[in-house]
Amino acid sequence: MFPKDSKQVSQQTRIDVVAAPDVSFLPSEALTTAETYFVLPLLHPDLVAPFSKVVPHMDSPKVLIHGSAQSGKSTLAQWMIAKVKQAYPNMSVFKVSSSSLFSKYLGSSEKKVMKLFRKAEIAAPSIILIEGIHSLCPSRYAMEDDGETGVGDTYNRMVATFLNCLDGIDTRDRKVAVIATSLLSPEKLDPAAVRPGRLETHIHLARDT
């Protein structure tokens, strides 16, 4: 169970969630999955410990919420964070748009990704929320075929750095959970990013028409 005296972090990156947003419009299956595979492991790691051999690193959950625009992805992510912060108000939360991690300078984008995860590790236990992961982790195979010189290499480096950071939080004794939202389905993201051990829990939201 997490302590309530987590280190303070910059107000620019800290999210103070007071109340959970209204999620009555979201499907119950999505809420159940979010609570089972994200909220419960964070609040009650002792309950999920017996399943650690089947689902390694369940105490540092990584969830992908995907669906079309206006389907409630951000709302669900905020609800998940709020549920945890209601029990642990000092839980550190880092929210970032994947587009903000890109830079025109060689190597700078990768450094931004590493800095994000490093901040979360220092402030652990913590949660990282990455909005629009489809910009950060598109299929590298598709990018290699786009015909634009250098674009594939840039995305290869970014994806590789992100995956190394994801793996790194599981090899250290610092609990960092990750939520990522995406307009694209898991099948259209980089396969290595959505395999077991990384963004392995997938929640699909469809906009009502």
What pLDDT does 19 receive?
79
Could you tell me which of 155, 187, 184, 170 has the C-alpha nearest to residue 59?
170
Average pLDDT over residues 145-159: 69
| CB neighbours of residue 140 within 10 Å | 20
Arithmetic mean of pLDDT over the chain:
85
**Residues facing residue 116 across a β-bridge:** none
Domain residue limits, the chain: 28-205
Bond from prior residue into 56 cis (ω within 30 degrees of 0): no
Q: pLDDT band for position 66 (50/70/90)? A: very high
Q: Quote the CA–CA distance of 37 and 28 in Å, as a whole number.
A: 14
Residue 96 has pLDDT above 90, yes or no: yes
Q: Do 179 and 65 meet the contact criterion of CB atoms below 8 Å apart? A: yes
Per-residue pLDDT, averaged over 18-28, amounts to 90
Whether the model pTM is above 0.75: yes
Mean per-residue pLDDT, 176-189:
96
What gap in Å lies between CA 194 and CA 176, rounded to an integer?
Answer: 17
**C-alpha distances out from residue 138 to 21, 23, 174, 179, 192, Å:** 29, 28, 28, 17, 10
pLDDT tens figures, 115-148:
999 999 999 999 999 999 999 998 876 655 555 5
Domain 28-205 has CATH 3.40.50.300: yes
For residue 162, count other CB atoms closer than 10 A to its CB: 27
